[in-house]
Amino acid sequence: MSGSVNVRTRVDARRSQTLARRRELGAFLRARRERTSPAEVGLPGSDRRRTPGLRREELAVLSGVSTTWYAYLEQGRDVNPSDQVLTAIADALRLTGDERAHLRALADGTAESVPRPPAETLTPEVAAIPALLSPAPAYITGVTTDVLAWNDAAAEYFSGMIGQSASATPNLARWVFLDPAARRILLDWTEVAQSVLARLRANAGRHPGDARFSCLATELREGSAEAAGWWPRYDIATSHSGTKRLHHPTRGPLTLTHASFTVTDAPDQILVVYSEP
């Protein structure tokens, strides 16, 4: 009897996850459609438009699908778009590489396959890496941008993000949006904040229905006008290498290069290493 109950529980959980993924797919498509202007795709504008973006029927025509079928996608109905259709929709919406990958993960179900542990931990071998990289600032973030490990240099360069409370896990997104110190330290705060939120949005899409993301997103939107305005835009990004301008507490403005590395056994965990060029 208990075996059949367990089977039903797993089936119900799988069904719930599938529904959450479809809703996430619909939300993503709707957000991107509403941000794509007619002019971007060669269509005439009109003062009668209720929204500045494309209408569903316009995007359907551009993608070569029926309006009803496309509406089902945005409504989270049980439809399975082919690779050809996904490519056509992505082309019509002018999606970036990161956005196309996100669209496919939501559409083909791989967004359901990523494990969602209740609390993230690092293996001892991975947790030791930031200290080994000293004196270069280095830290490891988890799926919701919790800072899971760091070295002393990272705590020095990102004052306030790390080590403020022994009982609370540091969180990159929470620090960026809710701590005033972040705006002083990050000299290009807007660019960094948008990138952090876009990465969080991408992770949330890969874990549909995960309450950790909804709770964090609510906290960010309630505490930051920028987060409240940007979250519905559904920007998508992944971790990339690049440069970042910081204000060091004693050395003043600095430009650092940074590189990001995915932990092989835990792809949601990212090692970030900074250096001076």
In the chain, domain spans: 2-112, 124-275
**DSSP single-letter state for residue 159:** B
Structure confidence at residue 121 as a pLDDT band (50, 70, 90): confident
Beta pairing partners, 255: 245
d(CA 179, CA 192): 14
Element (H, E) at 125: helix 124-127
Identify the pLDDT of residue 210: 84
Question: What is the pLDDT at residue 199?
Answer: 94
pLDDT at 105: 85
Question: What is the average pLDDT value for the chain, to the nearest integer?
Answer: 87
Q: Over 70: is that where the pLDDT of 166 sits? A: no
The CA R_g of the chain, rounded to the nearest whole Å, is 21
What is 124-275's CATH topology? Beta-Lactamase (3.30.450)
Res. 11: pLDDT tops 80: no
CATH class of 2-112: mainly alpha
Segment 217-240 shows an average pLDDT of 93
Query: What letter represents residue 147's amino acid?
Result: V
Read off the pTM. Answer: 0.81
Q: What mean pLDDT is predicted for residues 17-32?
A: 87
Instruction: Tell me the per-residue pLDDT of 60-76, one tens digit each, with 9 for 90 and over.
Output: 999 998 999 899 998 98
pLDDT tens digits for range 187-209 = 999 999 999 999 999 998 888 87
d(C-alpha 264, C-alpha 65), whole Å: 39
